[in-house]
Amino acid sequence: MKKLSLTMIAVFFLVCSVGVQAQTTQPQLDQLKLMQQFVGTWQATFPNDTIVTFEMQQFGKAFVENDYVTVNGKESLDSKWSYSYSPKEGEFKFFAVYFGGNYQTWIGSFTSEKKWVQEMVQDFNPEKVLMKAEMVFETTTSISVLAFDMKGVKILEFKWSKVK
């Protein structure tokens, strides 16, 4: 019995040590530095003579964004966004308020040096994802965007182009 117990303990430690050895540590991405890739003015063209523009600025350790929609040459402010980085969670939480008073809450982060993933969530609750978007910096002036509904079905694909 004593031999069986010692064998079980040895097997337990062996399994634990193999499990620890198999884990690889991911290098931490500098989220604030990577977020600076978004700073500037970006545009995307949509059907019906519609252009969407966002202007991103760094505000200390936070970021702020203004979004404009131009339809048939007439530009109007659509929304304002504020991004705040949570070092504890390793991600940004951001809030969008729209001209009409609606709002959205999002959680996002870089998963690689060129890929940003964000989820629209209900009142910052990560368990209640309403939509997801992935953005890939193809170059310093081009971002490809894919958006998915809450079931993971692609609902939109477009590109942002940096204009300033």
Please report, for the domain that includes residue 102, its CATH number.
2.40.128.20
In a domain, 60, yes or no: yes
In a domain, 12, yes or no: no
In a domain, 48, yes or no: yes
How many domains, the chain? 1
CA atoms within a 13 Å half-sphere pointing along the CA-CB vector of 50: 7
In a domain, 90, yes or no: yes
pLDDT at site 45: 96
Q: How far is CA 114 from CA 27, 74, 79, 110, 118, in A?
A: 15, 33, 25, 7, 13
In a domain, 141, yes or no: yes
CA terminus-to-terminus distance, the chain: 75
In a domain, 25, yes or no: no
Strands 74-86 and 62-71: antiparallel
Evaluate whether 83 touches 63 at the Cβ level (below 8 Å): yes
pLDDT at site 27: 66
pLDDT at site 120: 97
In a domain, 46, yes or no: yes
Element at 33 (helix H, strand E): helix 31-35
Evaluate whether 152 touches 163 at the Cβ level (below 8 Å): no
Structural domain range at position 145: 30-162
Q: How far is CA 164 from CA 57, 94, 110, in A?
A: 12, 23, 22
In a domain, 22, yes or no: no
Give the residues of the chain that fall short of pLDDT 70.
1-27
